[in-house]
Homo-oligomer: A and B are copies of this chain.
């Protein structure tokens, strides 16, 4: 009898946990205990809702907290001279905005919402309490920082050494994989809220060329975009085109020291047909 109740309790907890993409993401990295899930749920005590298309962290402003994204998309950007801007990275559900606020409170970047955005603010104190509960969370948090670093390095590769065609595919694959982890994909389809202008500002392209590139991908039967619903029509070919390193988002496998083969980026000494 007690066993049955326990099972139900676990199930309910699991259901609750699945509401919090951060918990999904952490569970993806490694199995979380019952208590750990509870502790993480407690990090979500407040929710702040931000309207779509609002810059809610301004460069030069002093930050007093970090945020867990629980719903919607945001992005970090730099305003440059001559009306240009560069989007550095995106924040999807389960991501943490301004993780370094405590040591570098004066951000030199801005963060804006794309969709209506739900974030749970947390302070250094909250984090300290979480670590006090279980020091294991330090590792988890550090892991997420490391992952951020990997994503940024991929962004550098896109911009430095890929064509517009490749960059676009590479970014869409990144979106797909990141969303998949938090359960926001359906087969090969997902919602991609950024406008073409935003994509252009991410990939270092003009919005005109961004548009042409997406159309080329459509004409090549590789993707379809209706409204903001993106479908990847040939995952294998897309990965080939983008020289997508696959493994870099398979965070769980990299987490342990085990020696099983992880497929990384490999040299391909043949040209990829880029129509």
Contact = CB atoms under 8 A, between A and B. Distances in A.
Contact of A104 (B79, B152, B204, B255): B255
A59 B78 CA distance: 30
Contact of A264 (B59, B149, B150, B247): B59
Chain A interface size band reads: 35 or more
Contacts of A183: none
Contacts of A78: 153, 157, 265
Contacts of A146: 100, 103-104
Interface stretch (A20-28, A36-44, A267-275): A267-275
B204 A265 contact: no
Number of copies: 2
Given A80-B243, A108-B248, A102 B142 contact: yes
A260 B193 CA distance: 38
Nearest to A272: B81
Contacts of A152: 149, 152-153, 156
A166 to B, nearest CB: 10
Interface stretch (A84-92, A111-119, A207-215, A230-238): A84-92
Interface in A193-209: 201-204
A122 interface: no
